[in-house]
Structure 1
Amino acid sequence: MKFSLSFLLCITASILYAQTNRYEISFDNAVHHEAVVKGTFIELKADTVAFRMSRTSPGRYALHEFAKNVYNFKATDSKGKALEVLRPDPYSWQVIGHDGTIAISYTLFANRGGGTYSQVDETHAHLNIPATFMYAPDLSDRKIEVDFKLREDLNWKIATQLPLVSGTTYSAPNLYYFMDSPTEISDHAVREFEVDHNGKQQNIRFVLHHNGTDEELDAYFEQVKKVVLAEKEVYGELPDFDYGTYTFLACYVPNASGDGMEHRNSTVLTSTRSLSGGGMEGNIGTVSHEFFHAWNVERIRPKCLEPFDFEEANMSGALWFAEGFTSYYTNLILCRAGIISPEKYVEGISGTFNYVWNSPARQFFNPIEMSYQAPFVDAATSVDPVNRENTFISYYSYGSVLGLALDLSLREEKLNLDDFMKLVWKQYGKTEKPYTLENLRQSLAEYAGSDFAETYFDKYIYRSEMPDYASLLGSVGVTLQQDSERPYFGAAVSLNGDGHGEIRSNPKIGTPAYEAGLDKGDIITDINGSGFPDGQQFSAYIEKLKVGDTLKITFERFGTEKHCTVVLGANPDYRLSLMEKEGGKPSKKQMRQRKEWLKTETR
């Protein structure tokens, strides 16, 4: 969400105190995941006021029907008189006949602790605002105050980017800022450090709700600090955080749902992994990704997401840049910060690279069009089968490998992606001027030349070509290898419980399984007259065979026995590794360019 602090303060000062919408939320029945929300709206002019639950949440692009978790709605006037309520659609409550004041109350069921929904139980009240609070669209410019009624018996405390008014009451200058301000109420711990920002100090606050020890938190916080400073180096400065503070809201508890969600001055980080149970290594990547968003997407913001729509899906063709380039930097930052080794970083690219490179989806959609798919895939739900294996590449992954290609291509020109991101930051981030795709192309042309920008955008963004990764990776002493002797079936198969194998995913176009006519849901009962290889993973069985081997397969589909022949192909996957790990000897130039790229000592 995009607001400058001066703009926010101006709005705040211009709104009379009497025109404040006030909320109260309490958690007496937290054991059953219920919260009671009350709201008071005064000095109302229209006879009918519509209240509604949002259908979207900042940082998400799909629809989420938060209204389904609301019940026991009531509305009264200033004297406590019950008012007439109409339901024109599933998301709205129209209140009629008030006396200038409407007081509403309702019960909210909340039991998903992630970056979109809310969760209330006896461990915490994890609140994403759109999933929690009704709002009146016609009153969206008013100031908001909310009183979080704490469970003192549970030692709860409040953490949020919202500024404190007093006690347990916090404020927002308007609806947009309120919606963008997740709040964690729990018995959490806090660590903080100050970072210089153009001669003044900004506070970085890490809030952690977990079941671990202070020593674990201290060790993890040292990694968080390294990430913050490494990302500041990319852009040359921190954003100018509203109220001078940025807050990480982390819940590493068994009842959470793994997620991360960026906001203007805070981020939600949730995981079921405790710090002692793998989270020290497994959770830090989300910290890196979400904090990078404080620049790229929160302030360097696509024009198509402004203003954010709380009633309809939000579609953008720029997610390959907003999410994908952020994904490229996620592990690169961990490497630069010394949290993972260069070897681990490089080898870790392999999975994402193969997913994008070997996908048949590029014949259907370019990165812009993949970004358009976000409302269908970004935590969206559906009950009908889809063909994503063949038609979709995540804009996170697609943009990540294109970010890698752009960085290495620029370095061949004695430039780099960091400095390009600095330029985009100065042009569109610091100024908070939303950008278009044409703006990005123009910025790249300004930085690297028109020919370079035209080639990159024409081939890889407006079309779906792939850069010459072997050459680009070779420039930094990284090999890209394929094992042509490794056999490949082309579909995921697993035991179904009766000694047979079930195809669990749609075979990809052009693979041996696809060409043989096998499909998701088929039950393989026999291979070459020897039954299904029960007792071992199907992938391990295939690995023992050879490219070109013929498999005569008997399978069941819809209760009917069928037969087909699969000829094993060569596995298309690539492996990325440091040249010296494969017995090669990178040149001094390659080592120098690798060091400049990773900003860490090579070894």
Structure 2
Amino acid sequence: MSLPSIFFHISFVEPQAHYAEITMQIDGLREPFIDIKMPVWAPGSYLIREYAKNVERLQAYTGSEELIPHEKTSKNTWRIYSNNNDIRIRYSIYGFENSVRTNFIDSSHAFLSPVGTFMYVDGYLNNPVQVQIEIPDFWSKISTGLEKSTNLPNTYIAPNFDILFDSPIEIGNQDTWTFDIDGTLHECAMVGGGVYDKDKLTQDITTIVEEENRIWGCNPNAYYLFITHNYQSNNGGLEHFNSTVLATSRFGYNQETTYKSYLSLVAHEYFHLWNVKRLRPKALGPFDYEAENYTTGLWIMEGFTSYYDNLIIRRCSFSDEKEYLQMLALDFNTVYNRPGHEIQSAALASHDAWIKQYRPDENSHNSSISYYNKGAMLASAIDLKILAETHGQKRLDDVLKSAYQKFYLVENRGFEEHELMELVHQITHVDVSEIFHAAHTLEELDYNWYFNKVGYEIVNLNSGVQPLSMGIKTVNNDTRIIVKAVDRNSGAWKGGINVDDEILAANGYRMDPTGRTIDYILASSKEGDYVSLIISRDGLIKNLNIQLQYSEKKSFTIQRKETATSEERRLGNIWIALD
């Protein structure tokens, strides 16, 4: 039985009002009815986003333009009642959300996230599909990772909907240029202006890609697209099968810190070309586009990638040793200064990404951690242990390369976490089971044991220096001091301070907008003293007594260990790319 022909046509009648018009043409599928569905989430961004909310004015027609009855049967499903083998479905998509994972359409350009644009026929995700784009006269370019048709203008081909949904489309007047890296054609599409230097960007991206090709052993693509949205102030990224969408500041390219952050983002999203897009947990493909796809392995997929992004920037000499160690120490500070690290493991953070990672609230720091930061910490421990116990002959690079070859190139399947742990031992003869165990429990590793093996140590600069604290974070809102966070088990937590309370006075002193009132009280008090606060909560005046405690905030730094042996220093030089 031949597969139906599915063809999309996209036009822009009212782009200034943020609309795209979609026609879905289905030929050769004769059924009493068909269900067409809109995905509810975007792979790589683990949150139910309800893309169907932006669908309007859906109608179905025969090829002779006769209306076909339909009804909506679920939040993202439309049932088309027809046994006609020639069906046209027309609908409008509203898009006005600036992010790397959602549609944005205005008079200047259109960014189409395919999961929020294209519907699929239930049961036919493996069907080939074509997309034709009608470009308005005031736009001139299309940038996408989809294969271009040789038969029809501005038409693109996907072998199935998985590839279509993983191929964002940029339409407008973007600045584009191409360059070859190790036989793979790369294209940059810059949207929204910017003060970038094309030659420098090309050179720096080339250096990053060459290092990542070296790690993984080969590049799976003949073509790769970088879409960068340049904003006044924004950042982020989302990986795709042979492309990525990045967000950064248009003014950041000539600012050293911001530019290095952009290069780190490039390194992170490009690393996903292998790690998650091809080497992946079993749960992450084939996808169910209608529901959460749960995995405990995001600490590997995102955490390992977060470990490597800054390490690659170091290996490429974009940062020095001190800068790299500061970036790695930031992961430790971020995790250990969240009381949530005593509540949530890296594996649980991965599993609960759908309800926590992308839905932060005022209590998130007390109840959760990020699998990005914690995963990077765990990855560093694996890398350092392998380096130490193989005397510098092996490292995490070798494991990932072997895993990519075994699970993707040879067996073409997702892996279970225990299989990756066993592969580490098989490739390196190093047992890292305690690290994988730590990812699934609240037990903390002695990270210094791993750093010491390569001549480094992690030091808490706040050790022995414990300032007093109420355990709150405040902001100055038009001279009003507003509580924005309360730390678990702090004096404020126990004493009943709430987020959004306005602090009016402390110990009889009216609050100073600069915070000097609190600073004075903390400096002149001792542990166990009480602070008498007058607060306003939803317009009601309340009196609270808050007991002062020593702050438990950490300030970690990673540095050379003075007593390191020559062998440890040699291994450290390998790790930090000084040899």
Query: Structure 1 length normalisation: TM-score?
Result: 0.87
Residues 1:165 and 2:143 aligned together: no
Corresponding residue number in structure 2 for 1:189: 175
Corresponding residue number in structure 1 for 2:369: 393
Relative to structure 1, the CA distance from residue 541 to residue 104 in structure 2 (aligned partners, 3 Å threshold; closer, same or farther) is farther
Mapped to 2, the partners of 1:355 and 1:537 lie a distance apart of 26
Mapped to 2, the partners of 1:223 and 1:229 lie a distance apart of 10
In the TM superposition, what is the alpha-carbon distance from 1:387 to its structure 2 partner? 3.1
Query: Which of 531, 535, 542 is equivalent to 2:510?
Result: 531
Relative to structure 1, the CA distance from residue 588 to residue 271 in structure 2 (aligned partners, 3 Å threshold; closer, same or farther) is same
Residues 1:176 and 2:162 aligned together: yes
Query: Which of 232, 255, 266 is equivalent to 2:243?
Result: 266
Query: Which of 547, 552, 555 is equivalent to 1:566?
Result: 547
Mapped to 2, the partners of 1:313 and 1:538 lie a distance apart of 48
Relative to structure 1, the CA distance from residue 540 to residue 204 in structure 2 (aligned partners, 3 Å threshold; closer, same or farther) is farther
Please say which of residues 435-444 and 371-380 is displaced more in the overlay: 371-380
Q: Once the two structures are superposed, what CA deviation does each residue of 1:179-232 show, in whole Å capped at 9, x if it has no partner?
A: 111111122233333333xxxx2223322224135x623222222111111222
Corresponding residue number in structure 2 for 1:548: 527
In the TM superposition, what is the alpha-carbon distance from 1:263 to its structure 2 partner? 1.2
Mapped to 1, the partners of 2:546 and 2:86 lie a distance apart of 74
Q: Once the two structures are superposed, what CA deviation does each residue of 1:137-178 show, in whole Å capped at 9, x if it has no partner?
A: 233232111111112323x21111110004200011111111
Corresponding residue number in structure 1 for 2:444: 466
What are the within-5 Å matches in structure 2 for residues 14-29 of structure 1? 19-29=4-14
Corresponding residue number in structure 1 for 2:383: 407
Contact 2:97/2:103 (<8 A) preserved: yes
Residues 1:132 and 2:114 aligned together: no
- Runs of 5+ in structure 1 lacking a partner? 1-13
Mapped to 1, the partners of 2:458 and 2:484 lie a distance apart of 32
What are the within-5 Å matches in structure 2 for residues 51-200 of structure 1? 51-154=36-139, 156-166=140-150, 167-196=153-182
Mapped to 1, the partners of 2:240 and 2:519 lie a distance apart of 44
Mapped to 1, the partners of 2:547 and 2:385 lie a distance apart of 40
Residues 1:455 and 2:434 aligned together: yes
Residues 1:438 and 2:422 aligned together: no
In the TM superposition, what is the alpha-carbon distance from 1:542 to its structure 2 partner? 7.9
Corresponding residue number in structure 2 for 1:6: none
Query: Which of 188, 191, 202 is equivalent to 2:184?
Result: 202
Corresponding residue number in structure 1 for 2:397: 418
Contact 1:547/1:569 (<8 A) preserved: no
Mapped to 1, the partners of 2:559 and 2:56 lie a distance apart of 58
Corresponding residue number in structure 2 for 1:341: 320
Question: Identity over the aligned pairs, expressed in percent?
Answer: 24
Deviation >6 Å, runs of 4+: 537-543
Residues 1:578 and 2:556 aligned together: no
Relative to structure 1, the CA distance from residue 149 to residue 204 in structure 2 (aligned partners, 3 Å threshold; closer, same or farther) is same
What are the within-5 Å matches in structure 2 for residues 190-269 of structure 1? 190-196=176-182, 201-212=183-194, 216-235=197-216, 237-241=217-221, 244-254=222-232, 258-269=235-246
* SS of residue paired to 2:354: helix
* SS of residue paired to 1:88: strand
Corresponding residue number in structure 1 for 2:348: 369
* SS of residue paired to 2:489: coil
Give the structure, 1 or 2, with the largest relative contact order (CA under 8 Å, sep 6 or more).
1
* SS of residue paired to 1:290: helix
Contact 1:60/1:378 (<8 A) preserved: no
RMSD: 2.6
Corresponding residue number in structure 2 for 1:497: 478
Q: Once the two structures are superposed, what CA deviation does each residue of 1:515-546 show, in whole Å capped at 9, x if it has no partner?
A: 44333233322222222232247896688567
In the TM superposition, what is the alpha-carbon distance from 1:448 to its structure 2 partner? 4.2
Mapped to 1, the partners of 2:122 and 2:381 lie a distance apart of 44
Relative to structure 1, the CA distance from residue 309 to residue 277 in structure 2 (aligned partners, 3 Å threshold; closer, same or farther) is farther
Q: Once the two structures are superposed, what CA deviation does each residue of 1:75-126 show, in whole Å capped at 9, x if it has no partner?
A: 1101110111211122122111352211011111111242211111122111
Relative to structure 1, the CA distance from residue 275 to residue 122 in structure 2 (aligned partners, 3 Å threshold; closer, same or farther) is farther
In the TM superposition, what is the alpha-carbon distance from 1:15 to its structure 2 partner? 6.0
Mapped to 2, the partners of 1:99 and 1:43 lie a distance apart of 8
Q: Once the two structures are superposed, what CA deviation does each residue of 1:385-415 show, in whole Å capped at 9, x if it has no partner?
A: 5632222111111101111122122222124
State how many pairs are aligned.
Answer: 566
Query: Structure 2 length normalisation: TM-score?
Result: 0.91
Mapped to 2, the partners of 1:247 and 1:310 lie a distance apart of 24
Mapped to 1, the partners of 2:335 and 2:467 lie a distance apart of 20
Higher helix share: 1
Corresponding residue number in structure 2 for 1:480: 459
Contact 2:41/2:47 (<8 A) preserved: yes
